[in-house]
Structure 1
Amino acid sequence: MPKTTAALPRRATLAAMAALATPGLICPALAQNEANWPNAPVRFIGIFPPGGGTDIMTRLWCQKMSELTSQQFVIENRAGAGGNVGTEAIARAAPDGYTIGLASVGALAIAPTLYARLPFDPNRDFSYISGMYQLPNLLVINNDVPARTVPELIALLRANPGRYAYASSGSGTTVHLSGEMFKYLANLDILHVPYRGGAPAHIDLLGGRVHMIFDNIPQALLLAREGKVRALAVTGAARSPQAPDIPTMAEFLPGFEITSWGGVMGPAGIPPAIIARINALTRQALESPDLIRRLAENGGTPWYTSAEEFIRFRAANEAGFASLIRASGARVE
């Protein structure tokens, strides 16, 4: 019996249905679309307010990614609770690769121990993509504080227990934990005052309402160079190339080392092809001389990792901070 024109569409439909039910037959087309990510603007959730060190680093990466992909990377700042508010927003986004955000040491390596409950699970709720940057914190003090070195500051604080306060960009940040490590290693009694980001903390520091902060180096170093605050030490393992004249905290308190980091992540369930695509583009971005230079100008170091390396690093970093939190008695305020 000859084929009819009506039978052909029906058979084509059946073939298409069979393809949907057969692994691998339609997946290559989907994978090709995923490998061409992005085909539309990308929303990037920044978890701290505009103007702070993490926001500066985030914007530099997004600008380079826009150049590489010819698509807009639109930053949406969702601040609060030391980065936990924005991190929750990332976890709740659609896993299509078009909403990603900042993976932060505070929310992912510090908060799991510091907070009794979190609205997300770092081990379950995210697709980890790549590291982005690392940078030390910088201890700066109000110009009216009568100390010019870390030993002088320690002596002043010991002579005046409870009279001085240090600011942070929020509980559970490396800014907070740097202050707690300072208190613990130097045996000090100083008050922690958390803010919703580094920018508002600096306003009160300049106004004398708080006396010191261990902030991410970009904004703190800028204020110090302008003479608005006094820089005493960096928290990294070595002196910063951007400020080689400023000593490390470990030069006065052996064992003092805290480095802030940020990376790229999205909600759990992003297709592996998209994760691989974002990771590859991130590597390309972080190897570009202009981005390396601009990160360095702001005190940062490019930090590329594979997705698997990022997962392992986060878990190990969480374990390290857990020991500090328990030893120091740090708590949410």
Structure 2
Amino acid sequence: MAFPFRPTLLAATVAAGLLAAAALPVAAADNYPSRPIHLIVAYPTGGISDTVARALGERLSAQMGTSVVVENKAGAGGSIGIDAVAKAAPDGYTLGFASTSPLTLNPHVGHVNYDPQKDVAPVMSVMYSPVLVIATNGFSGKGFADVVGQARARPGSVRWATSGLGTVGHVVLEQIRQKSKADITLIPYKGAGQQMNDALGGQFEVMSTNASPALTQHMQAGRLRALAVGAPRRLESLPQVPTLAELGYPKANMTSTFGVFAPGKTPAAIIDRLNAELNKALAGPEVHERLLKGGEVPTGGTAAQFARAIREEYAENARIVKEAGIKAE
């Protein structure tokens, strides 16, 4: 973070002026919030991120006594929304809700118009979304081992769809291809909507996608089957589904972490206030139960913990992308 330039104190009047100026962020934090907060969701309406962000907005509004206006700015894997946050005034009145990928993955696979380590301030981790490996009705195998077995026996016969090049689902596939040496065909979509429609039509055999209420409904109806999950442990909602780590693919055992972000130079006092309010909102039943129902896992914690996790993820993704030669469109 860049620190403001402080000229040499030449007179008492100058010193007094500097002290008054230095006190402004504190005063602003004391009066915060005094007007509506703008929450940018980096994805389209209707998805789990939009649903969770709006639930958080409702709770923040009630807790902080001001309205929270939610706006969707989707595109470029979340980078468009995060770019809007990065360029907003650092006063706590513009926030963003997104996965960590626009900060930790997108910069490695394509161009972004912001510095992921300086222009955006992590406020709080809200949830992690497991990455599920799903079989469609076009897949004849029984379990995950059959995905690799069939791809080895008949190279190119297993088609694996992701919601886009350079997404977490794509990285999961590349890690599996590297470890298994299986010839699996990548089918990259431009978003999860068409990917889901084609999955229901059996247009490919396997896909990797984040947990969502719609996905849960399709699995319960028998239209789709979960073969594996990227998560620290098996999901309570799918206890019979092994993690990718259990199956021998620890590097592919990835999740998508979502959280709230602010512009990079937002005062620490405002970040701390927001973090406290968000933790309170996340612990409430309105948000907590909505997350669990959608297959997501609530997280929470301090801004410093979230920032540290993002730095570690950024470094790890740089290694993965370089080794796998992943590039976005």
With the length of structure 1 as denominator, give the TM-score of the two structures. 0.85
Aligned to 1:266, which of 262, 266, 271? 262
Cα separation, partners in 2 of 1:73 and 1:180, compared to 1, 3 Å: farther
Aligned counterpart in structure 2 of residue 49 of structure 1, from 44, 49, 63: 44
Q: Provide the residue aligned with 1:153 in structure 2.
A: 147
One-letter code aligned to 2:293: E
Alpha carbons 2:138, 2:203 under 8 Å: kept: no
> 1:39-78 maps to which residues of 2 (within 5 A)?
39-78=34-73
In structure 2, the residue matched to 1:37 is: 32
2:291 to 295, 307, 318: 295
Among 172, 176, 199, the residue aligned to 2:193: 199
CA change 1:288–1:82 in 2 (3 A) is same
Q: Which amino acid aligns with 2:30?
A: A
Give the alignment of 1:65-214 within 5 angstroms.
65-115=60-110, 117-214=111-208
C-alpha offsets along residues 181-212 of structure 1, whole Å, 9 cap, x if unaligned?
A: 22222223333333343233212222333432
8 A Cα contact 2:41 2:98, kept in partner = no
Please give the secondary structure, in 2, of the residue aligned with 1:22. Answer: helix
CA deviations on 1:209-242 (whole Å, 9 max, x unpaired) are: 3432211112433321132211111111210112
Contact 2:55–2:286 at 8 Å: present in 1 too? no
What amino acid maps onto 2:270 in structure 1?
A: I
Query: How many equivalent residue pairs?
Result: 315
8 Å contact kept, 1:140–1:224: no
**CA positional deviation for 1:100:** 0.9
Give me the CA root mean square deviation: 2.4
Deviates more, 1:47-56 or 1:141-150: 47-56
Name 2:325's counterpart in structure 1: 329
1:109 Cα shift? 1.3
1:161 deviates by 2.3
CA–CA separation in structure 2 for the residues paired with 1:210 and 1:35? 55
Give, in whole Å, the separation in 2 of the partners of 1:65 and 1:166: 40
Partner amino acid for 1:92? K
Separation in 2, partners of 1:125, 1:272: 14
Q: Distance between the aligned counterparts of 2:201 and 2:18, measured in 1?
A: 64
Aligned-pair CA distance for 1:80? 1.8
What is the match of residue 10 of structure 1?
A: none
CA distance 1:94–1:326, change in 2 (3 Å): same
Is the partner of 1:251 in helix, strand or coil?
coil
**Which whole-Å CA distance do the structure 2 matches of 1:106 and 1:285 have between them?**
23
Q: Which residue type is aligned with residue 307 of structure 1?
A: A
The structure-2 alpha-carbon separation of the partners of 1:163 and 1:81, relative to structure 1 and needing over 3 Å to count, comes to farther
The change in CA–CA distance for 1:268 and 1:253 in structure 2 (over 3 A counts) is: same
Match of 1:235 in 2: 230
Going from structure 1 to structure 2, the CA distance change for 1:162 and 1:79 (only over 3 Å counts) comes to: farther
Provide the rounded CA distance (Å) in 2 between the counterparts of 1:160 and 1:209. 18
SS at match of 1:250: coil
Counterparts of 1:123 and 1:149 in 2: how far apart (Å)?
A: 40
Q: 1:281 aligns with which of 255, 261, 277?
A: 277
- Is contact 1:128-1:266 (8 Å) kept? yes
**Distance across 1 between alignment mates of 2:21 and 2:319:** 49
Partner of 2:6: none
**Is the Cα contact below 8 Å between 1:48 and 1:196 reproduced in 2?**
no
Deviation at 1:27, TM superposition (A): 6.0
Matched residue of 1:51: which SS?
A: coil
How far did residue 122 of structure 1 move? 0.7
User: 1:14 maps to what in 2?
Assistant: none
Query: CA 1:332–1:273 in structure 2 vs 1: closer, same or farther (change >3 Å)?
Result: same
Q: Which amino acid aligns with 2:230?
A: T
Match of 2:4 in 1: none
Shift of 1:103: 4.1
Report the TM-score, using the length of structure 2 for normalisation.
0.86
Structure 2: gaps (5+ residues): 1-12
More moved, 101-110 vs 312-321: 101-110
| In structure 2, distance between residues paired with 1:332 and 1:29 | 43
Greater Rg by CA? 1
TM-fit CA distance, 1:26: 6.7
Instruction: Output the CA distance in 2 between the equivalents of 1:212 and 1:69.
Output: 45
